[in-house]
Amino acid sequence: MKLVPRPTHTAAAQALTEAGEHPLLSQLFASRGVSDAMDLDLSLKHLIPPSHLKGNEQAGQLLADAIESQKQICIVADYDCDGATACAVALSGLELLGAKNVHFLVPDRVHDGYGLTPKISQRVKDTQAQILITVDNGIASIEGVQVAKDLGLEVIITDHHLPGPSTPNADVIVNPNQKGCTFESKSLAGVGVMFYVLLALRAELRTRGYFVKHQLQEPKLDQLLPLVALGSVADVVSLDVNNRRLIHQGLERIKKGIMPMGLKALIEVCAKDPTSLCSQDLGFSIGPRINAAGRLSDMTLGIECLITKDMKKAQLLAQTLDQINKDRKNIELEMKEQALEIAMSLMDEQEAAPAALCIFDPDFHEGVIGIVASRVKELYHRPTFVFANTTAKDKSHLLKGSGRSIAGFHLRDALDLMSKRYPDLIVQFGGHAMAAGCSIEEDQLALFESAFEETAIELLSTEDLTQVVLVDGPLGQAHCHVDTAKRIKSTVWGQGFLAPLFVDEFEVLEQRVLGEQHLSLKLKLGQLLVDGIWFGRNERLSAKSTLAYKLEVDTWRGAEKLKLFIHCLA
């Protein structure tokens, strides 16, 4: 691991400060590429216009026709948090805009696999639906869309995944990453895409005089933003300014109590205070509980929780999701230990990891392989694929893999390259630069492993394989207090806009190991005494240690206290 100071942009920081931003935050923002105070104005009026999204106005017209004719609409969701929130936004938004006949279908991770398959299209047709809308999937469903069209369905694809060389024969495709789309935010989540479709639909209905004709008050779609924020953070999309605006606005509404009952119930289960909820709470507390349903059970539970208008039902579903998440944690812990043992066996004589890691165990649970791949990738800083046997009866000969990558190695493109070099290697694949999935024949595992490492060696340099952690330099005693931590917490941080990581030298006054795995610390910075915690470390520190850390607010019985979360030694 190599700590690298973030670049300082004095002029940009000064300009932000002169525009009214706090000097410390001005420095933090400037070092993350913010040079215009407009990019710190997170109001909705600065969102990229819906008309900039290719296919969006056409989707609005098609859905406006459907509402005026009261056609049957079926939403085909994905089984992760982004897909669940996108489905909930679609269902709630279409209802707000006048649709009367809307239902949803979510594929089963094990039995159906990912995306709009031919079987799913047939199931949609069997519901008497006339219009099929995909959310957070569909851009790779060539065959499934064609079957839907052959069955007489109108098909609207809303997705954000990278398209392959060809796209489905849908009536409309709305995807910022499709060819010819000039939408400025290529990192829009699936739930964000669906929200934009609803904005286009409302504009079309307004143009047609629909609300006036039916004596309806034009609905406010901003009430859906809490779900947009949740899905965007949970999907770890890059937080460009447009995504930060969507997330910020969603959080602001949550703090005011404007949110679905299911989200309120989930916040209660997580023991979080909605009035001070932050993006990290969405990503590390709320999102995993929704995701757990798709990994171990049925994402219908997650979607039902997010759309119900019955508080008792919401609370019951939230408690169910909480228990499923606890089960997921237990499975993940056991799998992670097995995966790390396998990874250790792949080290060379110098205990260095190969350029890429491929891990399989017949006892792995296919619903958790993505999380385990992420954990291994974080530890070794290597592109990592984790495989499991699929439990689907008709696919028992296949292994299902989930991969996570590092900067400099575009995972989906790597899979595409491998499939071209070895045409019979990969049955199916898809995904993003940093996360992707695939299926392979069981007897192809050894070839996949060698091809994966071969591709990584070709595409990655020695520098790429060295983990670089960007730090914000010393904070110092003057700024090391609760007010600074609260200012930082109130900002939207995440992928591509990481929370500040400071570096200072401390006197270590006290240290003790908690539960054999966490280091509790009493530290001194200048004349300031402060508590710290280092999760996952049980080795003692030197009396004077230079530490990289984040600021947190520790609240106990209404009292606020500063606490440092230690990241690493500097």
Give pLDDT tens digits for 448-494.
999 999 999 999 999 999 999 999 999 999 999 999 999 999 999 99
Per-residue pLDDT for 111 more than 90? no
Q: For residues 467 and 3, give the distance between their C-alpha atoms in angstroms, rounded to a whole number.
A: 9
Kindly list the strands in the beta sheet with 154-158, ordered across the sheet, starting from the edge strand earlier in the chain: 102-105, 73-76, 131-135, 154-158, 172-174
121 or 555, which is more confident? 121
What are 123's two structure tokens? 């199931």
Q: Where are the alpha helices (DSSP H) in 351-481?
A: 369-380, 411-421, 445-459, 476-479
Question: How high is the pLDDT of residue 397?
Answer: 84
Kindly list the strands in the beta sheet with 426-431, ordered across the sheet, starting from the edge strand earlier in the chain: 357-360, 384-389, 398-404, 435-441, 426-431
Give pLDDT tens digits for 242-284.
999 999 999 999 999 999 999 999 999 999 999 999 999 999 9
Mean pLDDT of 11-39: 96
Domains along the chain with CATH numbers: 2-9+469-569 (2.40.50.460), 45-315 (3.90.1640.30), 334-459 (3.10.310.30)
What are 6's two structure tokens? 């973030």
Per-residue pLDDT for 349 more than 90? no
- How many angstroms from the chain centroid is the CA of residue 313? 26
What are 467's two structure tokens? 């983990």
Among 227, 237, 222, 220, CA closest to 43:
222
What are 480's two structure tokens? 């090391």
Q: What is the DSSP letter of 101?
A: -
DSSP string covering 491-542: S--BTTBPPP-EEEEEEEEEEEEETTTEEEEEEEETTEEEEEEEET--SPPP
pTM of the predicted protein model: 0.94
∠ CA 249-431-441, rounded to 5°: 150
Give bridge partners of residue 504 from the DSSP assignment: 547
Give bridge partners of residue 274 from the DSSP assignment: none
Q: Look over the chain and give the mean of its residue pLDDT values, rounded to a whole number.
A: 95
Question: How high is the pLDDT of residue 164?
Answer: 87
Q: For residues 282 and 277, give the distance between their C-alpha atoms in angstroms, rounded to a whole number.
A: 8
